[in-house]
């Protein structure tokens, strides 16, 4: 045959007689199972409403004939059944997929991706922005006061050794000034860390979806409704602090891909405090 489609009988060859257990189709039965002999091996499954021609009937079994159409490959061969099964329709989700990667940003103190970090998709942006600015004013003010104390104690340390003609007295003054400076620096660092944690909690309170970045910094949110969002991620373990704060707009069910290197950041979640 030279036609691109051939009328063939489903099974082995052009005409095959298949054994099927006699069982009436019911609303719960969506397909019929065909065996190669009574109580034999599975051959195929067909819709329950497919027309069958009964060739033989015995001992509660029917031998049936089924006609159908299949395509041919360019070489004239018949493709496998698997190749003929249509792909399942893609299920539409109630929203879009938002994905991206926490790549290193200019100015960050490390060139590694943000792996294993909690990534937040936040909404209610106007209210969140106001709360973040208010908290930032408080934290910057507190940090400046502590920085001023550090500056004063640094000056005191520089003059401590010359505070007395008595070496023992001067040495004690120097040690005390050094301890006070260390305590003030720690107080400022602890205060900044508390402010970072408060910022984290603030964003958490407006979060609609969460994800954890993979080893490459990749993250993904699914079924995101249309709207305006921010994507925020934090990394302030140890001495290094860095954060990603990106604008995200979803307008349809199309995927949104965020590239921090190309997108303008919304700001610094930690108000520039280091």
Length of the chain: 274
Looking up tokens 């003010």, which residue turns up?
141
Same domain, 117 and 138: no
DSSP 76: S
Is residue 221 included in any domain, yes or no?
yes
Task: Please state the domain count of the chain.
Answer: 3
Same domain, 233 and 174: no
Same domain, 117 and 148: no
Give the 3-state secondary structure of 110-137: CCCCCCCCEEEEECCHHHHHHHHHHHHH
Q: State CA 214 to chain mean position distance.
A: 9
233/246 Cα distance (integer angstroms): 9
Q: How many CB atoms lie within 10 A of CB 69?
A: 9
Same domain, 149 and 170: yes
Same domain, 109 and 235: yes
3-state secondary structure of 210: strand
pLDDT of residue 162: 82
| 120, 221 contact by CB (below 8 A) | no
Is residue 33 included in any domain, yes or no?
yes
Give long-range contacts, CB 8 A cutoff, 24+ apart: 83-92.
92/253
Per-residue pLDDT in tens (0 to 9) along the chain, 274 residues: 444 444 444 443 333 444 444 444 434 445 676 767 775 555 676 777 778 788 787 777 788 888 777 666 556 655 544 444 444 444 445 789 999 999 887 766 667 788 899 999 999 999 999 999 999 999 999 999 999 999 999 999 998 888 777 888 888 888 999 999 999 999 999 999 999 999 999 999 999 999 999 999 999 999 999 999 999 998 876 567 888 999 999 988 888 998 888 877 788 899 988 8
DSSP 215: T
Looking up tokens 């100015």, which residue turns up?
107
pLDDT of residue 99: 93
Is residue 128 included in any domain, yes or no?
no
pLDDT of residue 3: 43
3-state secondary structure of 198: helix
- CATH number, position 256: 2.60.40.1120
Give 113: exposed, middle or buried? Use CB within 10 Å, 0-12, 13-18, 19+. middle
Rounded alpha-carbon distances, angstroms, from residue 127 to 123, 193, 202 = 9, 23, 11
Examine the fold and report which residue of 150, 171, 199 is the final residue of a domain before the chain moves on: 199
| 228, 86 contact by CB (below 8 A) | no
Domain range holding 180?
Answer: 134-199
pLDDT of residue 259: 85
Which helix H or strand E contains 199, and what residues bound it? helix 167-204
Dmax (CA) of the chain: 122
Is residue 159 included in any domain, yes or no?
yes
Same domain, 112 and 211: yes
Examine the fold and report which residue of 199, 216, 245 is the final residue of a domain before the chain moves on: 199
Examine the fold and report which residue of 154, 173, 199 is the final residue of a domain before the chain moves on: 199
pLDDT of residue 74: 58
Rounded alpha-carbon distances, angstroms, from residue 69 to 5, 8, 18, 44, 173 = 7, 6, 17, 15, 99
pLDDT of residue 82: 41
197/236 Cα distance (integer angstroms): 9
73/5 Cα distance (integer angstroms): 9
pLDDT of residue 77: 59
Is residue 38 included in any domain, yes or no?
yes
| 269, 131 contact by CB (below 8 A) | no
3-state secondary structure of 202: helix
34/21 Cα distance (integer angstroms): 8
Quote the pTM value. 0.61
């Amino acid at each position: 045959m030279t036609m691109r489609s051939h009328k063939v009988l489903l099974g082995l060859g052009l005409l095959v007689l298949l054994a099927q257990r006699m069982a009436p189709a019911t609303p719960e039965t969506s397909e019929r199972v065909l065996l190669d002999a009574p109580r034999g091996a599975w051959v195929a499954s067909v819709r329950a409403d497919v027309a069958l021609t009964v060739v033989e009937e015995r001992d509660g079994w029917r031998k049936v004939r089924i006609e159908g159409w299949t395509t041919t490959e360019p070489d004239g061969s018949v493709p496998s059944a698997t190749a003929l099964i249509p792909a399942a329709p893609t299920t539409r989700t109630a929203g879009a997929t938002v994905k991206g990667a926490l790549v290193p940003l200019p100015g960050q103190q490390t060139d590694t991706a943000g792996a294993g970090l909690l990534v937040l998709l936040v909404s209610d942006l106007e209210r969140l922005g106001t709360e973040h600015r208010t908290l930032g004013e408080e934290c910057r003010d507190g940090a400046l006061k502590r920085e001023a104390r550090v500056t004063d104690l640094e000056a005191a340390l520089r003059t401590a050794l010359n505070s007395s003609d008595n070496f023992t007295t001067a040495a004690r003054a120097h040690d005390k000034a050094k301890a006070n400076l260390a305590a003030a620096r720690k107080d400022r660092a602890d205060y900044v860390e508390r402010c970072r944690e408060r910022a984290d909690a603030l964003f958490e309170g407006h979060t609609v979806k969460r994800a954890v970045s993979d080893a490459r910094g990749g993250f993904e949110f699914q079924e995101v409704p249309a709207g305006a969002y921010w994507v925020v991620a934090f990394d302030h373990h140890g001495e290094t602090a860095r954060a990603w704060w990106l604008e995200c707009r979803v307008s349809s069910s199309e995927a949104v891909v965020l590239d921090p290197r190309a997108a303008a950041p919304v700001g610094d979640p930690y108000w520039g405090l280091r």
